[in-house]
Amino acid sequence: MSKGNTSAKGTVWAPGRVNLIGDHTDYTGGLVLPMAIDLGTTITWHATTGSSRFFSEIDDVVVDLDATPIPLHWGKYVHAVAHLLKNQYIDPKISATISSTLPIGSGLSSSASLEIAVALSLGAKADTREEIIALAQLCQRAEHAATGVPCGIMDQLIVLAGQSEHALLIDCATFEMTPVHIPSDLKVVVQFITHRTLAGSAYSDRVAQCTSAQQTIGPLNRARVEDLVALDDPVIKKRALHVISENSRVKDFCSALASRDFNLAGSIMADSHYSLRNNFDVSTPEMDAAVFAASSTSGVYGARMTGGGFGGCIVIIAEKDAPVDGWVVQASDGAGLVE
């Protein structure tokens, strides 16, 4: 399927994502295991004359790409993506309508989903592996420009490269992407806990703390727990411990799923949550309580906070008929044109 806009009108869909395990590892070139989900952003467009305009069905805002100042809210993502594409001489004139089934500010990558959908509606290409990586990086730069948050590459990559029935094991240093089958007798449930935004959060501090650790013990994606003795600052040491141990947990979780040891997979999720809470300090009391409640429910194998933290969602893996509230999400294909 061709991914980008090559015609006078069309519709593009881009999923959101839930990360099964591997949080706060992507910006140090670590391992992540996100899954594209069946909630996402739709953009319908037609060619026009004059400047490109994006309308949203969520509110009354209209983004005119030739107008200044740059609008706040969702418009800043549209502007940032369009600006970077223009630098690559991709600048068709379209009139576009955006709609979304993703709850905004929930930590399910509504912004990455919007960025990718905008890029594809404007004609960016994402058919080959090289094009997918280049477009994910462009949209990551757009996210940095729009929010000032130095996010990693996970969200934009999974939105583009997701596969139905699979999560994707991504090595964020090499961009190697390996599909990991989600067994059909498992359900993945997302529970929305609180709204959050990473802008103004301590996300950037965490990135800086990891950079600081790397200055002493080298790249965290190659460091071992034994290397931590070289770190004097107890906070930096905890941050590095989280990243090193989380990279191992991603591999162990994939092995547990492959061998259908769902109880083991669940206990690895519990370890991940514990580390994100105690070593990385990105959970909240509400998320901790929700993880605890879900984990104590019969038929649930495991639960953890998911994404950047400071609010957002938790993810649960459970037996099909386990009595858990939330959105039961299906692993979906990545973004593309809708026939």
Q: Mind telling me the catalytic residues?
A: 155
String of contacts with ligand GLA for each residue 229-248, x by CB under 6 A: --------------------
CA–CA gap between residue 307 and residue 103 (Å, rounded): 14
In terms of CB distance, is 308 or 336 closer to ligand GLA?
A: 308
In terms of CB distance, is 53 or 196 closer to ligand GLA?
A: 196
Which member of 10, 308, 326, 336 binds ligand GLA (CB under 6 A)? 308
Smallest gap, in angstroms, from Cβ of residue 273 to ligand GLA? 13
In terms of CB distance, is 22 or 336 closer to ligand GLA?
A: 22
161 CB-near residues (< 8 Å, 6+ apart)? 36, 132, 136, 168, 177, 334
134 CB-near residues (< 8 Å, 6+ apart)? none
Is 307 one of the binding residues for ligand GLA (CB under 6 A)? yes
Smallest gap, in angstroms, from Cβ of residue 148 to ligand GLA? 13
Segment interacting with ligand GLA (CB under 6 A) among 24-32, 70-78, 88-96, 260-268 = 24-32
CA–CA gap between residue 266 and residue 301 (Å, rounded): 5
Among 74, 72, 70, which Cα is nearest to 55's? 74
Using left for φ > 0, alpha for ψ between -120 and 50, and beta otherwise, residue 334 falls in beta
String of contacts with ligand GLA for each residue 158-177, x by CB under 6 A: --------------------
Which member of 155, 170, 273, 295 binds ligand GLA (CB under 6 A)? 155
Token output for 141: 């730069």
Smallest gap, in angstroms, from Cβ of residue 144 to ligand GLA? 10
Segment interacting with ligand GLA (CB under 6 A) among 42-50, 146-154, 183-191, 292-300 = 146-154
Residue 197: how many CB atoms within 10 A of its CB?
A: 17
Is 26 one of the binding residues for ligand GLA (CB under 6 A)? yes
CA–CA gap between residue 1 and residue 195 (Å, rounded): 35
Instruction: Tell me the backbone φ, ψ of residue 326, rounded to 5 degrees.
Output: 125, -175
Strands 53-56 and 94-100: parallel
Is 115 one of the binding residues for ligand GLA (CB under 6 A)? no
Is 184 exposed, middle or buried, given 0-12, 13-18 or 19+ CB atoms closer than 10 A? exposed
Which member of 10, 14, 21, 23 binds ligand GLA (CB under 6 A)? 23
Segment interacting with ligand GLA (CB under 6 A) among 18-26, 66-74, 219-227, 255-263 = 18-26
Cβ pair 3, 10 in contact under 8 A: no
Smallest gap, in angstroms, from Cβ of residue 93 to ligand GLA? 31
Binding site for ligand GLA (CB under 6 A): 19, 23-24, 26-27, 151-152, 154-155, 307-308
